[in-house]
Amino acid sequence: MEWGRIAVFASGTGSNFAALVQAQREGRLGGGSIELLVSDKPEAPVAQRAEEAGIPALLLRPKDFAGREQYEAAIVAELQRRNIGLVVLAGYMRLISPVLLAPYAGRIINIHPSLLPAFAGKDAIGQALEYGVKLTGVTVHFVDGGMDTGPVIAQRSVEVQSGDTAESLAARIHQVEYALYPEVVSAFAAGKVELNGRMTTIAE
């Protein structure tokens, strides 16, 4: 498995997918190369983006499989066929089971729009606004079997401004995501990320 051979998983809009593709085009993904899009929603806009970018897509509906294990086994087969070494979740709205976690241990990462462990799960931006925090942000973390519970790799903060709506705050958070995720993916592609217990270090 090569760290630089990347599959992006996404279920929706795919703006982070697009930002990663753009980063690769601009030489900001280090040795990273996006080899595959995986989506559980064949009709999602992200599938169209992959087509436009000329990136192969594996579009599978989980309900067409006997269960989650069979669905993920089909994905793992394709990842292994393409020698994928890093799985990058970008708005992939499913928990991952051991069928995918075991062969890709330490090789699956996710981006979440809050400073974890605050506001895990759905609608993190809405949760932050409702709570009234002054500072929120973006977290990139390893994926484990839980919901946004894996070790943190990188975090960046975003100030909540008075008068912010979910839309205005989301727009600033997304801009930070588009910058941070390519940086982290590039560090992985260069083999610079190390995990000890829950403590991650990124080598210079």
Q: Which residues between 65 and 124 bind ligand GRF (CB under 6 A)?
A: 90-91, 111-113
Q: How far apart are the first and last CA of the chain?
A: 23
Q: Which residues between 151 and 190 bind ligand GRF (CB under 6 A)?
A: 177
Regarding 38 and contact with ligand GRF (CB under 6 A), the answer is: no
> Residue 97 to residues 58, 78, 104: CA-CA distances in angstroms?
18, 16, 11
Count Cα neighbours of 3 within 13 Å in the Cβ-side half-sphere: 16
Q: Cβ of 189: how many Cβ atoms within 10 Å?
A: 22
Was 96 annotated as part of a binding site? Answer: yes
Shortest separation between residue 184's beta carbon and ligand GRF, angstroms: 13
Shortest separation between residue 170's beta carbon and ligand GRF, angstroms: 7
* From 14, 32, 85, 150, residue interacting with ligand GRF (rule: CB under 6 A): 14
Nearer to ligand GRF, 2 or 144 (CB): 144
Please tell me the distance from the alpha carbon of residue 141 to that of residue 153, in angstroms, as a whole number: 5
Going by C-alpha positions, the residue among 170, 166, 171, 168 that lies closest to residue 126 is 166
Nearest residue (beta carbon) to ligand GRF: 91
Catalytic residues: 112
Please tell me the distance from the alpha carbon of residue 116 to that of residue 148, in angstroms, as a whole number: 8
Residues at the annotated binding site for (6R)-10-formyltetrahydrofolate?
A: 68, 93-96, 110
Interface residue list for ligand GRF (CB under 6 A)? 10, 12-16, 90-91, 111-113, 177
Residues at the annotated binding site?
A: 14-16, 68, 93-96, 110
